[in-house]
Amino acid sequence: GPTSPPFQRRRGQDSSTGDLMPMPTSPPTDVLSPRLVPTVPPNEVDMSSPLMYGTPSSRVEGTPRSGVRGTPARQRPDLGSVSKAPQVDLQSEPPSADGAVASEANAGQRLVIWGTDVNVGTCKEKFQADFILCVVGDPVLNVNCLHVQSFDAELYRQLICYPQEVIPTFDMAVNELFFERFPDSILEYQIQVRPYNALKTRNMRNLNPEDIDQLITISGMVIRTSQLIPEMQEAFFQCQVCAFSTRVEVDRGRIAEPAVCRHCNTTHSLALVHNRSLFSDKQMIKIQESPDDMPAGQTPHTTVVYAHNDLVDKVQPGDRINITGVYRAVPMRANPRQSNVKSVYKTHIDVIHFRKTDEKRLHGLDDAEQKLFTEERVQTLKELAAKPDVYERLASALAPSIYEHEDIKKGILLQLFGGTRKDFSQTGRGNFRADVNILLCGDPGTSKSQLLQYVFNLVPRGQYTSGKGSSAVGLTAYVMKDPETRQLVLQTGALVLSDNGICCIDEFDKMSDSTRSVLHEVMEQQTLSIAKAGIICQLNARTSVLAAANPIESQWNPKKTTIENIQLPHTLLSRFDLIFLMLDPQDEAYDRRLAHHLVSLYYQSEEQLEEEFLDMAMLRDYIAYARTYINPKLSEEASQALIEAYVDMRKIGSGRGMVSAYPRQLESLIRLAEAHSKVRFSEKVETIDVEEAKRLHREALKQSATDPRTGFVDISILTTGMSATARKRREEVAQALKKVIQAKGKTPAMKYHTLLEDLRRQSETAITKEMFDEALRALSDEDYLTVTGKTVRLLA
């Protein structure tokens, strides 16, 4: 066919460079036990030994090589005169035909070219991008193994099983192609192919002897990195007699020191010259299983990883990464002085590719943590979503051990789903908060803490902290000096750690003012600014806050407003979308149901428990799916409904001279409506969503913003910390006081007590000391008078 000339050419070139190993021809059955049956061609005798695994020389073959290796990049441009025509031909060839030939003998040679094909065919844009990288000086081609698999399963299998052989072949192919297309470019060294996303293994715990020498991808967290270790690649020897020099490649960590000088035949005259030998960089990295992958009740495993050359210092302790590499097992070194040896292998991974998973999070792309849902699971989830009562079902599945409080559970459910993330940074507004914040307040012992614990255990990135124990530092971030590297590191606190999750704060009222002030920024701007020890930065903290507060007096005082009961600054309260009261309802029917619920907790059988456990997993998946895949947008009707709702809310108060809604409440409504449509797996926010958002919002307001004096809902309790009637009354008392003072004529100073007595005598309503103080304060604000100790002086 038309494709044969390039094949020929490549084969010829392969033999000339001589570093390309032929593809293994062993049948696929060998894969099962690679350590038993050598996976390498017979001409490489040593390769059958388990010793070869992980030794430096073989590692060079498997992992991206350093620029100093035998095949200099300069050779490549010479071959660059090949026209682009063959590629086009290759691409036009259907993959299925390729697969058919692949099983034939000598398949390896051809597969190389198909490997090239994969790169061009599926990653063409990437290739272009890589070209730019090349100019910068980082000639690396990252290949997603999934693409390889979708292109050719057989090739993928070979890549996984024999990475040591296949990756260098990929390298060759890529380089050829590169220089075909860009003949004039000069590279520091050859392009290296770095496959990632090998699906062989996902979890460190599943690594077993069968994975040895295979390409694996695992996720984990970096816990330690070593200093840079120079590793000798090529030793330089010089004869002490005749100054003849020779180079010896390091083989499996050993240097075969030449005993005789080839030039002058003197024995033992060759000396190693260190600074003319070649070294490559190496770093030992320890990674630990990420906590999400762990079975309960076990400790996390750790694995040693070696990074080479430019992968050195790419990761820091604390980073969460995905590693693709070759799993190695090295026997403990046999000691010549000892007859028996430890029968244990040391294992490590030679890294080929790092991918930081938390780096992506900073840019808001959560694809690394995208849970993979099986088709059936998605189907079940969708079926569940299609049920008309899905909202109620989910709400009741939430913390089943906590009785009733349905609206609170619904609110928390919506919080778990969250609104749609919108970006207004173009218009200068920055990020629009999509996370719902909820405050629970109420009597002690109403299972607030339990609810918080439940939520914390439900969501993957939840943090639980108590206002009593946590300082501003614990919530935000602090700078720490790493004892080993003397490097300053930023240690993040609960709020940053729960980015994209929920931060549960118990005993919110016990928090110190300075700590609470941090929350102002987090709860509206969703960022955290840090200026400490010369580090000035702004961290993302897109966290939903679920807080619980106890009343200042041990019991909730129904005669007081929310603010008075919990003594929190209104500036903070207004940042909560929903504020719920958890009170003891005290009615008989409720008591009976509660009793039944509690008693049943104590005698339910194992099976029933099992059932509920499943529900928790389901709930978790449901939320994860909705958060990842559903991004509802406001429909026309929904926006109309929202506008109406807002206008209505404002109208309610205006009749009594009060404002009962602010733009912040409108934003809350939008978020809640979006969350509700997420619950339904709907891409569109519809009127029913707005209705529910309105209802829930109203419920919460009814509970928390009712003016105990008038019985009306008054949003200003939450926004200004004082109800409008209270403010009005304060004004009246102040005026009355002013009159009293004016009636006294020209007296520059008065006794505090006499003034209070006078006012009490004149006023029809009872004047408390507090009211009097408030009035005095109001008048002093007007610069009418000033209070010093027990004396009141007029200023005018």
Partner 1 sequence: MPSTDDWLNNPLGVVEGMFAASQNTPNSGWAAKAVAFFKDRLKEKDAHTWVPSLNDVPLHYLKPNSLVKFRCFIQDMFDPEFYMGTYEAVDPSTKAKVLRCGKYKDVTECGVDFNSRSTMTAERHTFYCVPIPGESPWVKEGYAGSSQARVVPSTSYAPTRQKRSYEEDDDDMDTDTQPQKQREPHTGPHSPTEPHGNGDCKRREKEAPSSQAASASHLDLNFPLPGEKGPSCLLKVYEEWDGFKLNEAVEVFGILSVSPALSALADEDASSSLLDPAGGMETAEEQRVHSPPASLVPRLHMLHAKPLPHNNPLLPAAGLEDNNSAFLSSTLREMAAVRAELLAYFTHVLLGDALAAEYLILHLVSNVYTRRDVLPLGKFTLNLSGCPAVASFTERFYQIIQQLVPSSYYLGMTLQNMNQMRLVPKKDYVANRLLSGALQLATNTSLFLDESQLEQGQLDTTGVRNVTALGNLISWQKVDYDFSYHQMEFPCNINVLIASEGRSLLPSDCQIHLQSQVAPPDLEAYLGGIQVHPQASQLNKFRMYLSVARQLDYSIADEVTKSVEDDFVDMRKDDPQSISAEDLHRMLVVARLLSLSLGQTSLSRDSWLRAKHVEMLRRSRMEQNKCVNGNEP
Binding to partner 1 (CB under 8 A): which residues in 369-408? 399-401, 403
Indicate the pairing of strand 684-685 with strand 633-634: parallel
Q: Which of 571, 567, 578 is nearest to 507 (CA)?
A: 567
Q: How far apart are CA 506 and CA 510, in angstroms?
A: 9
Q: Per CB under 8 A, does 481 bind partner 1?
A: no
Paired residues of 633 in beta bridges? 684
How far apart are CB 26 and partner 1 at their closest, in Å? Answer: 13
Q: Among 178, 189, 417, 454, which residue interacts with partner 1 (rule: CB under 8 A)?
A: 454
Stretch that binds partner 1, among 416-424, 453-461, 622-630, 671-679 (CB under 8 A): 453-461
Task: Using the Cα atoms of residue 46, residue 51, residue 52 and residue 57 in order, give the sign of their dihedral.
Answer: negative
Q: Per CB under 8 A, does 479 bind partner 1?
A: no
Residue 726 Cα distances to 244, 560, 709, 729, 732, angstroms = 100, 11, 8, 5, 10
- Name which of residues 486 to 505 contact partner 1 (CB under 8 A): none
How far apart are CB 156 and partner 1 at their closest, in Å? Answer: 25
DSSP E strands in 45-161: the ranges are: 140-144
Q: Per CB under 8 A, does 614 bind partner 1?
A: no
Q: How far apart are CA 661 and CA 646, in angstroms?
A: 7
How far apart are CB 71 and partner 1 at their closest, in Å? Answer: 24
234 in Cβ contact with 247 (< 8 Å): yes
Q: Which of 220, 488, 537 is nearest to 354 (CA)?
A: 220
Q: Per CB under 8 A, does 599 bind partner 1?
A: yes
Q: Which is nearer to partner 1, 137 or 469 (CB)?
A: 469
Q: Per CB under 8 A, does 279 bind partner 1?
A: no
- Name which of residues 37 to 66 contact partner 1 (CB under 8 A): 37-38, 48-51, 54, 56
* Letter string b/e over residues 521-531, b meaning 16 or more CB atoms within 10 A of that residue's CB: bbbeebbbebe
Stretch that binds partner 1, among 60-68, 226-234, 649-657, 780-788 (CB under 8 A): 226-234
Q: Per CB under 8 A, does 330 bind partner 1?
A: yes
Q: Per CB under 8 A, does 594 bind partner 1?
A: yes
**Ramachandran class of 205: left when φ > 0, alpha when ψ lies in -120 to 50, beta otherwise:** alpha
Stretch that binds partner 1, among 34-42, 531-539, 575-583, 780-788 (CB under 8 A): 34-42
Q: Which is nearer to partner 1, 38 or 721 (CB)?
A: 38
Q: Which is nearer to partner 1, 273 or 601 (CB)?
A: 601
Q: Per CB under 8 A, does 335 bind partner 1?
A: yes
Tokens of 758: 């006078």
Q: Which is nearer to partner 1, 16 or 340 (CB)?
A: 340
Stretch that binds partner 1, among 287-295, 408-416, 419-427, 667-675 (CB under 8 A): 287-295
């029968």: which residue's tokens? 343
Q: For 269, phi and psi rounded to 5 degrees? A: -110, -5
Q: For 706, phi and psi rounded to 5 degrees? A: -85, 130
* Letter string b/e over residues 369-406, b meaning 16 or more CB atoms within 10 A of that residue's CB: beeebeeeeeeebeebbeeeebbebbbbbbbeebbebe
| Helices of type H across 574-635 | 588-603, 606-629
Paired residues of 422 in beta bridges? 432
Stretch that binds partner 1, among 185-193, 236-244, 266-274, 581-589 (CB under 8 A): 581-589
How far apart are CB 135 and partner 1 at their closest, in Å? Answer: 35
Q: Per CB under 8 A, does 274 bind partner 1?
A: no
How far apart are CB 602 and partner 1 at their closest, in Å? Answer: 5
Stretch that binds partner 1, among 97-105, 324-332, 636-644, 706-714 (CB under 8 A): 324-332
Q: Per CB under 8 A, does 223 bind partner 1?
A: yes
Q: Per CB under 8 A, does 586 bind partner 1?
A: yes
119 in Cβ contact with 87 (< 8 Å): no
Question: What is the per-residue binding string for partner 1 in 523-542, x denoting contact by CB under 8 A?
Answer: --------------------
Q: Per CB under 8 A, does 595 bind partner 1?
A: yes
Q: Which is nearer to partner 1, 231 or 621 (CB)?
A: 231
Residue 300 Cα distances to 25, 207, 297, 319, angstroms = 39, 13, 10, 16
Q: Which is nearer to partner 1, 617 or 796 (CB)?
A: 617
Stretch that binds partner 1, among 377-385, 441-449, 523-531, 769-777 (CB under 8 A): 441-449
Q: Which is nearer to partner 1, 533 or 598 (CB)?
A: 598
Q: Which is nearer to partner 1, 596 or 739 (CB)?
A: 596
- Name which of residues 78 to 117 contact partner 1 (CB under 8 A): none
438 in Cβ contact with 577 (< 8 Å): yes
Q: Which is nearer to partner 1, 54 or 653 (CB)?
A: 54
